[in-house]
Structure 1
Amino acid sequence: MQHNRRFAIVAGGLSLNYARIGAGHPVVFIHGALTTLDDGLIALAEALAPGHELIAFDRPGHGDSQADGGSGSAWRQARLIHEAVQALGLERPALVGHSFGGSVATAYAMLFPDDISGCVAIAPIAFPEPRLEQMMFGSRAVAGFGELTNAMAAPVDALILPLLWHAMFLPQAMPTGFAAEFPFAQAGRRSQLRADGQDALNMAVDLTRSALSYAGARVPLKVLQGDRDAVVNPLVHGRRLAALWPGGEFINLPGLGHMAHHFAQDAVVDAIAAVGGAAPSTSRRTSPSRKLAVA
C-alpha cells in the first residue's frame, strides 16, 4: 500500500482521525462496523491513484477518533465528518461509504447535497431491521451496565471477532494484504466495540429517518453490492435504496460478498467517476470473467 499521512482534526468538539493519500479529485471514504479507515486505504488507495486524493476517516469512537454520548447516530456522524471535510477545504468530494458507512454517507448526501459531487454506497445498510450487531454489541452502550457487559465479553470476543472478520469477506477469502495490514487489535478493543454498540442502538431511529428522506435526495447515487452478500441483504437494502433515490442506480457485482470493494475496485472507481469524480478506471482490476450487471 502507498504511504499515507495521518492526522487529527476537531469537529463538533471531537477529535477525528483521518488519512490522506494521492492527489486529484477528493474522495472521502467512510468505513463500516468492526473496521477502521484502514479498510478503505487497503482496498482503494492503489486503484484510485493517480487522479484522486483519498481521504479516509475513522468514524467517531472507531480507530483513533473520539466519541461522545450522541456520536453513534449516523446523522450526527455525517454532520461531524462534513464539518471536518469543510475545515480541510475539500471541494465537492465524492463520498464512498461501506456498510454502516453507507448509512452515514447517504445521510451526509441528503444533509449537504451542494457540498459533494455525488455518493457511492457499497453494500449499504439502508433500512431498519433486527440485526446481529444490535444483539452482539448494543447492550455494551446502554448507560449503567454497558461498561461491565463490554468488559465481561472480552474472552468471548477474542474467539468470535476473528471469525466475524473472515466471515465478512465470504464467499471470498480474506485477502492476504488485508490480513497483513489491517489493525485488528485496534478494531477489536473495548472502546471501539462500545462504539459499534452505540451505532447499533441508533440504527432503528436513524434508518427510519433515512428511509423517509430518500425520495427527496438530489445528488447522484450509485449503489454497488455483491449478490452473495450474507451480511446486508441486497434485496432488502441496496436495491430498495437505489429504487427510492431519485436517479439512483444499483450495480450488481456477481459472485461477490459484503467486502466487494476489495475485489471490484474498477467498479468502485467507475462509480465515483459517474457521480462526478475523475476519469473512469482503465486498469480493469476486476476479473474479466466477472461481468458487472446494472439493475
Structure 2
Amino acid sequence: METKTVKTHHAPVRYFEGGKGAPLVYLHGAGGVTAEDPLLNKLAESHHVFAPLLPGYGDSEECGEIRDMLDFTLHTADVVEALGLKDPILVGHSMGGMIAAEMAAIAPNDFSRLGLICPAGLWLDDHPIPDLFAMLPYEMPQYLFHDVEAGTKLMTAGVALDDPEWLKGFLVQNARQMGMAGKILFPIPERGLSQRLYRIKAKTVLVWGDSDRLIPPAYAHAWKKAIRGAELVSIPEASHMVTLEKTAQVAAALARLG
C-alpha cells in the first residue's frame, strides 16, 4: 500500500492506496490502521483500496474543526469526493463502521454497497459496551481477540505489554487517537444513529466475530433488523479484531458486495 495525501476543506488527509479493481473505501476503527494491515492488503488483491486516516491518526495532522458525528461524516464524505470516487464500496470497521453507516444514511443515493465489520454506533441497555477509554493496555486483548495470547502478540508485535519503551509509545499514540475517537465514542458510542439506519438503501453485509467481547453479537442482530435487507456473516473463533484473526473470511464476506 502506498501512503498519499489528499486535500480537503478542513485539513490534508493521509491515506493508503493500493490494488486494482472496483474502488473500495475502508474506514478504520479507533485503533487505527497501517499500510501493512492484512485486511487492506487482502482486499487490494481484488479492489482498488483507499484507506483514509482520521486526523490525529498515524502521521496525519490533528483537526479541531471536527467535533461531532456530523463533522466526522461530512469530513469523510469530503475525502471520498476529493479522491474523485463515485459510488465506491464503503467498508468500515468498528468506529469506521459507525461513520460509514452515517454516510450511507445521510446520502443514501451516493453509496450502493456497504460493508460493516462489527460497527459501533448502537447502544443496548441489556448489553453495555465496555469503556475502551478506561482500559489499561493489558486489559484490551481480552476484549479484542478470541485467542488472547495470540492477540496480545499481534497488538504488541511480540513485545511484552509491560515493556517501558513499548508502553511509552503506545500511550503517546493512544492519547492522540483516542482524543479524536472520543468525540463520537465517549462516554458511550451512541449518537442517534439507530434513528437514521432506516434511510440506508445500500446492499449491506454485516461481518461479526462470534466471540466479540467489545461489541457483542447481540448488536449484530440489532443492526440486521435496522437495515433493510442486510445480510449477516458470523465468523467463529473471532472477536472484535476479526479483521486480523480471520482476514480471509472477512474478505470473502465482503466479496459478496462485488
Q: Shared fold by TM > 0.5? A: yes
Q: Which residue of structure 1 aligns with residue 79 of structure 2?
A: 84
Alignment TM-score, normalising by the size of structure 2:
0.81
The superposition leaves residues 27-60 of structure 1 with CA deviations (integer Å, 9 ceiling, x where unpaired) of 1111111x2221x851213322432112112123
Q: Which residue of structure 2 aligns with residue 198 of structure 1?
A: 183
Q: In structure 1, the residue corresponding to 2:196 is in which secondary structure? A: helix
User: CA–CA distance in 2 between the matches of 1:106 and 1:8?
Assistant: 24
> In the alignment, is residue 75 of structure 1 matched against residue 66 of structure 2?
no
Alignment of 1:158-197 (within 5 A): 160-165=136-141, 167-172=143-148, 173-174=150-151, 179-180=156-157, 185=169, 188-189=172-173, 190-197=175-182
Q: Which residue of structure 2 aligns with residue 122 of structure 1?
A: 117
Q: Which residue of structure 1 aligns with residue 97 of structure 2?
A: 102
User: CA–CA distance in 2 between the matches of 1:168 and 1:134?
Assistant: 10
Q: How far does residue 83 in structure 1 lie from its aligned partner after superposition? A: 0.9
Give the letter aligned to residue 207 of structure 2: L
Q: Alpha carbon RMSD of aligned pairs, Å? A: 2.9
User: CA–CA distance in 1 between the matches of 2:152 and 2:24?
Assistant: 23
Q: Which residue of structure 2 aligns with residue 292 of structure 1?
A: none
Query: Is the alpha carbon distance of 1:46 and 1:5 closer, same or farther for their aligned partners in structure 2, counting shifts above 3 Å?
Result: closer
Of residues 50, 56, 65, the one that matches 2:60 is: 65
CA contact 1:6–1:19 (8 Å) conserved in 2 = yes
Q: In structure 2, the residue corresponding to 1:32 is in which secondary structure? A: coil
Q: Which residue of structure 2 aligns with residue 36 of structure 1?
A: 32
Give the letter aligned to residue 90 of structure 1: L
> In the alignment, is residue 52 of structure 1 matched against residue 52 of structure 2?
no
Q: Which residue of structure 2 aligns with residue 223 of structure 1?
A: 206
Q: In structure 2, the residue corresponding to 1:174 is in which secondary structure? A: helix
Q: In structure 2, the residue corresponding to 1:17 is in which secondary structure? A: strand
User: CA–CA distance in 2 between the matches of 1:202 and 1:17?
Assistant: 27
User: CA–CA distance in 2 between the matches of 1:15 and 1:43?
Assistant: 25
Comparing 160-169 with 56-65, which one deviates more in the overlay?
160-169
Q: In structure 2, the residue corresponding to 1:115 is in which secondary structure? A: coil
Give the letter aligned to residue 11 of structure 2: L
Give the letter aligned to residue 262 of structure 1: L
User: CA–CA distance in 2 between the matches of 1:114 and 1:125?
Assistant: 23
CA contact 1:60–1:195 (8 Å) conserved in 2 = yes
Q: In structure 1, the residue corresponding to 2:237 is in which secondary structure? A: coil
User: CA–CA distance in 1 between the matches of 2:65 and 2:132?
Assistant: 17
Q: How far does residue 120 in structure 1 lie from its aligned partner after superposition? A: 0.8
Q: Which residue of structure 1 aligns with residue 161 of structure 2?
A: none
Q: In structure 2, the residue corresponding to 1:232 is in which secondary structure? A: coil
The superposition leaves residues 234-291 of structure 1 with CA deviations (integer Å, 9 ceiling, x where unpaired) of 10x221111110111111112211111223333333333322x3xxxxxxxxxxxxxx
CA contact 2:133–2:178 (8 Å) conserved in 1 = no
Query: Is the alpha carbon distance of 1:199 and 1:162 closer, same or farther for their aligned partners in structure 2, counting shifts above 3 Å?
Result: farther
Q: How far does residue 177 in structure 1 lie from its aligned partner after superposition? A: 6.2
> In the alignment, is residue 23 of structure 1 matched against residue 6 of structure 2?
no
Q: Which residue of structure 1 aligns with residue 197 of structure 2?
A: 214
User: CA–CA distance in 2 between the matches of 1:66 and 1:203?
Assistant: 25
Query: Is the alpha carbon distance of 1:176 and 1:48 closer, same or farther for their aligned partners in structure 2, counting shifts above 3 Å?
Result: farther
Unaligned 5+ residue runs, structure 2?
159-165
User: CA–CA distance in 2 between the matches of 1:21 and 1:162?
Assistant: 33
The superposition leaves residues 117-136 of structure 1 with CA deviations (integer Å, 9 ceiling, x where unpaired) of 41111111131366444763
Comparing 161-170 with 88-97, which one deviates more in the overlay?
161-170
User: CA–CA distance in 2 between the matches of 1:45 and 1:31?
Assistant: 10
> In the alignment, is residue 257 of structure 1 matched against residue 252 of structure 2?
no
Give the letter aligned to residue 151 of structure 2: M
Q: In structure 1, the residue corresponding to 2:186 is in which secondary structure? A: helix
Percent of aligned pairs with the same amino acid:
24
CA contact 1:73–1:203 (8 Å) conserved in 2 = no
Q: Which residue of structure 1 aligns with residue 227 of structure 2?
A: 245
